[in-house]
Structures are given as C-alpha cells and as structure tokens.
Amino acid sequence: MAFNYGQFVSGGVGKQLATTLGLPRPSRLRRHKVGGSLVPGEVLVAGHGDAPVAERVRHLLAEAGVTVASRPSTSVAGVVLDLTTVETPADLETLRGVVGPALKTLAPSGRIIVFGRPPESATSVAQAAARRAVEGIVRSIGKEMRGGGTANTVLVAEGADAGIDATVRFLLSGRSAYVSAQVFRVEAPVADIVAPSDWDRPLAGKVAVVTGAARGIGAAIAETLARDGATIVAVDVPAAGGPLAEVANRLGGSALQVDVTADDAGAKIVEHAQARHGGFDIVVHNAGITRDKLLANTEADRWDSVLQVNLLSILRMNEALIPAINHGGHIVNVSSIAGIAGNRGQTNYAASKAGVIGMTQSLAADQAILDKGITVNAVAPGFIETEMTAKIPLATREIGRLTNSLQQGGLPIDVAETIGYFAWDANRAVTGNVVRVCGQMILGA
Ligand code: NAD
C-alpha cells in the first residue's frame, strides 16, 4: 500500500513522532451519515443590526431539531453570523466579538458560516469595502480553524433570503466536510424551491445522468446521488463496460456505453434516458482525462484529446441535452483547481478546466436556461484520493495532501456531496457558482 502521511501520524509510533516534533496531525473529518443529525450539537446564531438572515436561520434550525444558542456554550458545533446589514468596516467588530470567542469552544469539524451581501450591489464605497472584507476575514478564519473545521461565506443578493436554506443545511452538515473558504452566491431562485419531504433523500424521484461513472469520482457521484434517491444513468466508454455495468447494477440504474466525444453522444444519452426512465432531471459532466507534458513538448494530439474530452464534448452534448432536460433541472460540471491556479505540465488540462468555468458561468445566465429554470454550477476539486492521485510520486503526492487547511486529501464522496447539493430542487437559488472542494488548498487560494 502506498505511504500516507495522514494515516502514519494517526496512531502508534507515527503519532508519537508527530507530537514530539510538532508535525501536523490531520483530524478525522465529520461526514454525512444517513439518518444522522444535521449537526452534532448547538449552533450559535448571531448578527449585526436587524440581521434578517439570522432570523431565517433560527427558524430553519428549529425545524431541523437543532438547538440554537445565542451565546457561546461550552462547545458549539457551529456559528452562523449574519453580516448582511453592515454599512462600514467598523461594523465588522461584530464578527470579531462573536466568532473570536466561539472559536475557542468550537467542537471538532465545527462550522463557521458568515452571511453577507454582494459587494457589487453596495450603495456606498464604505459599504462595498465592508462587504468585501467579509470574504477576506472568513478565508483567514479557515486557515486558523483546528480539528477539521471549515469556514465559508454566503453572499445573498437583496431579496433572495428565501433561497438560503439548502446552503445552510449543506454547510452545517457533514456533506461539506472538505469545502472551506468558499464564497457561495445565493440569488433570486430560477424556479420554485421545493423542500424535500425527507432531507436524507433530497433527490427522490429524479433521474441523473453521470458521465465517467465507471470509476473514481464519477462512481462516487453515481453512488451518492443514488443514496439520495436519484435513478442513475451511468455513462462511460465501451472499454469501461464491465465496471460501468457493475456500478449501474449495484445502484439499480442503467448503463450506457458511449464515448462523450462522439458526435451523437448527447442524442444517445437523451434517447436512452427517455426510453428507459421517461426523461432526466440532472446532468453531471464528470468524464475527464489528463495528458500531461510541458507546453514546449505538447503535441497537437495531446492538446486536442484533453480539450475534446474535458470541454468540447460538453458543449456538443449540451446542444442535445438542454432542450431535453426536464424543466427545473440541474447541470453540474466538474472543473479542477488546475483550471483556477494553473499547473506545471498541464496547460491543456488547465485550458479545458478553466474553459469549463467560463462555460458554467455563461450558460447559467443564458436565457433559454433561465426560461427552463435550470441551474448550472461547477465543482473544482483539489487533491482527491483516487487511483489517479495514488500514482503521483510520493513527495509530490504528500505535498498535494498536506498543502491545505485541513492537512489531508479529500475523498471522492466530498466532490460527490457538493454535486448533490447543486442538484437539489431545494437549491434553485444557487446558479453560476464554482465551488472548490479542496480543503482550502493553498494553490490559487
Ligand atoms: P478517472 O480517470 O479515475 O475517471 C474518469 C472516468 O471518465 C473513467 O471512468 C473514464 O473511462 C471516463 N472517461 C474518460 N474519457 C471518456 C470519454 N471520452 N467518454 C466517456 N467516459 C470517459 O478520473 P477521476 O479522478 O475520477 O476524475 C473525474 C473528474 O474529476 C475528471 O473530470 C477530472 O478531471 C476531475 N478532477 C479530478 C481530481 C482528482 O484529484 N482526482 C482533481 C480535480 C479534478
């Protein structure tokens, strides 16, 4: 088995060595458990001024059976702070006064969620400064968190407060274990928000198409969406037919062998989903490849194959998928941290994954998409423990694992959980977002 620093220092001689030398010891992250509580403890809810979002959060938590604290208790599991009404940087004292002391008592895998309004819609320069400052503070808190805790910002557009519930639930829960220092943007919902009757099955009755589902992150996406109630159409190349069928059979879904770069891939998916399942509600564009080399040594076919699989195929397939997807559906694209930070030897891959971000943001604002009430979002994974990353040379691999605030690699399920959140009908107010699932990786932060 390949060496894993995090496992080495979790017990025995490795633990002793790390303690003696003051080396980092990654915490075990709290992850979602079906039937478990939303958050394991009390949540402190506070705000500046009227704090309209805090009021909504208190109701939401009461409904979810979570005890709301208004002062730090001995060990709060999370802090939700409403800064939507800040007018000047002086108002940020509220944050220091509330979050500072609470950090001392925060339970393991604790959560800090700070709400603000978008700086772009500020009505004064001082207000824009204060609003933008929130993001800076929360990113810094993410770096100060201990015990596997996360800190995220949620910017809610004026008039969009009713759209926050899904994001609050996601961020407090174990579903967001590896998501930290992100900025979520909640806007007016693109279609009616439908809260599920069972929050453990938020995708009940939905049909989800997942490309690249035979293994790795794609297989985890298929499993997670199926766990949450969706029927899966698992898509992969014919060469992966065996494992693909195994995934689809295990989940009670169907398998479709198709190369996503084929001209008729989109049409085949539509035909299959309609014939077998009567249509589809969710599309996850996950299939992806790497063909790494320095740009100086990158031949045309190496360049082209990566752009074809990772980007051009999505644009082509969407021409068939978008007219056919059910009203109020969800499209989720898989980008990468390399598409944000760039990476040596990955110009082709970075081009494709940055292109995915451009495509996501443009498509989310497209009138045809808005008319159909479809959300379009992307995840950008950082270092995720897969067969692919297990093959990276030891030193580079350990750097990838440790250079983030959570001091460990993420798991495929962490990417899958974020994709699932984007696909909830309870979540129609988050579109055009790109969320990194990277444990606040230093790269491109
Ligand atoms: P993987 O190589 O384990 O799996 C990719 C799957 O896509 C395979 O089953 C493969 O057969 C399929 N696929 C490849 N080309 C295809 C094609 N033309 N048509 C249909 N299917 C095709 O990779 P992974 O690590 O699970 O990555 C999944 C996605 O996540 C990719 O888009 C990747 O770029 C992205 N990503 C991964 C990481 C990571 O750390 N593993 C980090 C950032 C982004």
Domains of the chain: 1-25 (no CATH), 43-186 (3.40.50.720), 207-437 (3.40.50.720)
Q: Supply the pLDDT for residue 72.
A: 76
Quick check: 23 pLDDT over 70?
Answer: no
**How close is the Cα of 418 to the center of ligand 1, in Å?**
17
Task: pLDDT band for 445, please (50, 70, 90 cuts).
Answer: low
> Angle 347-364/313-324 helices, nearest 10 degrees?
20
Best residue for ligand 1 mutational test, from 211, 217, 316, 353 (most atoms within 8 Å of Cβ): 217
Go through 102-136 and write b for each residue having 16 or more CB atoms within 10 A of its CB, e for each that does not: bbeebbebbbbbbbbbbbeebeeeebbebbbbbbe
Q: Supply the pLDDT for residue 22.
A: 66
Please tell me the residue having the least CA distance from ligand 1 atom 1. Answer: 216
Q: Which two tokens stand for residue 444?
A: 């491109």
Task: pLDDT band for 326, please (50, 70, 90 cuts).
Answer: very high
Residues 6+ apart with CB under 8 A from 61: 38, 43, 45, 67, 68
Segment 128-138 shows an average pLDDT of 98
Pick from 8-12, 315-319, 328-332: least confident: 8-12
Quick check: 1 pLDDT over 60?
Answer: no
Please tell me the residue having the least CA distance from ligand 1 atom 3. Answer: 216
Q: Supply the pLDDT for residue 211.
A: 99
Q: Supply the pLDDT for residue 387.
A: 82
Q: Supply the pLDDT for residue 7.
A: 77
**How close is the Cα of 422 to the center of ligand 1, in Å?**
19
Give the model confidence (pLDDT) of 53-64 as tens digits.
Answer: 999 999 999 999
**How close is the Cα of 237 to the center of ligand 1, in Å?**
11
Segment 236-249 shows an average pLDDT of 98
Segment 92-101 shows an average pLDDT of 96
More confident residue, 386 or 6: 386
349 is catalytic: yes
Give me the amino acid identity at 82.
D
Q: Supply the pLDDT for residue 392.
A: 84
Please state, in angstroms and rounded to a whole number, the distance separating the CA atoms of residues 183 and 442: 16
Q: Supply the pLDDT for residue 10.
A: 77
**How close is the Cα of 334 to the center of ligand 1, in Å?**
9
Q: Supply the pLDDT for residue 195.
A: 93
Please tell me the residue having the least CA distance from ligand 1 atom 7. Answer: 212
Segment 223-246 shows an average pLDDT of 98
Quick check: 35 pLDDT over 70?
Answer: yes
Give the model confidence (pLDDT) of 293-302 as tens digits.
Answer: 999 999 999 9
Q: Supply the pLDDT for residue 388.
A: 77
Residues lining ligand 1, judged by CB closer than 6 Å?
211-212, 214-218, 236-237, 240, 259-261, 286-289, 309, 334, 336, 381, 383-384, 386-389
Segment 150-167 shows an average pLDDT of 97
* Sign of the CA dihedral with 335 first, then 390, 289, and 232 last: negative
How is the beta sheet containing 68-69 ordered, strand by strand?
68-69, 43-47, 78-82, 111-116, 150-156, 183-186
Give the model confidence (pLDDT) of 268-325 as tens digits.
Answer: 999 999 999 999 999 999 999 999 999 999 999 999 999 999 999 999 999 999 999 9
Annotated catalytic residue, options 5, 178, 349, 421: 349
**How close is the Cα of 204 to the center of ligand 1, in Å?**
26
Model confidence, pTM: 0.96
Q: Which two tokens stand for residue 364?
A: 């989310």
Give the model confidence (pLDDT) of 186-198 as tens digits.
Answer: 999 999 999 999 9
Give the model confidence (pLDDT) of 360-376 as tens digits.
Answer: 999 999 999 999 999 99
Best residue for ligand 1 mutational test, from 236, 292, 333, 335 (most atoms within 8 Å of Cβ): 236
Task: pLDDT band for 12, please (50, 70, 90 cuts).
Answer: confident
Q: Supply the pLDDT for residue 203.
A: 98
Task: pLDDT band for 391, please (50, 70, 90 cuts).
Answer: confident
Please tell me the residue having the least CA distance from ligand 1 atom 16. Answer: 287
Best residue for ligand 1 mutational test, from 388, 419, 436 (most atoms within 8 Å of Cβ): 388
Q: Supply the pLDDT for residue 181.
A: 98
Pick from 30-34, 81-85, 230-234, 400-404: least confident: 400-404
**How close is the Cα of 263 to the center of ligand 1, in Å?**
20
Quick one: which atom of ligand 1 is closest to the CA of 214?
9
**How close is the Cα of 211 to the center of ligand 1, in Å?**
9
Go through 55-89 and write b for each residue having 16 or more CB atoms within 10 A of its CB, e for each that does not: ebbbebbeebebebbeebeeebbbbbbbbbbbeee
Task: pLDDT band for 389, please (50, 70, 90 cuts).
Answer: confident
Pick from 22-36, 155-169, 190-204: least confident: 22-36
Please tell me the residue having the least CA distance from ligand 1 atom 12. Answer: 212
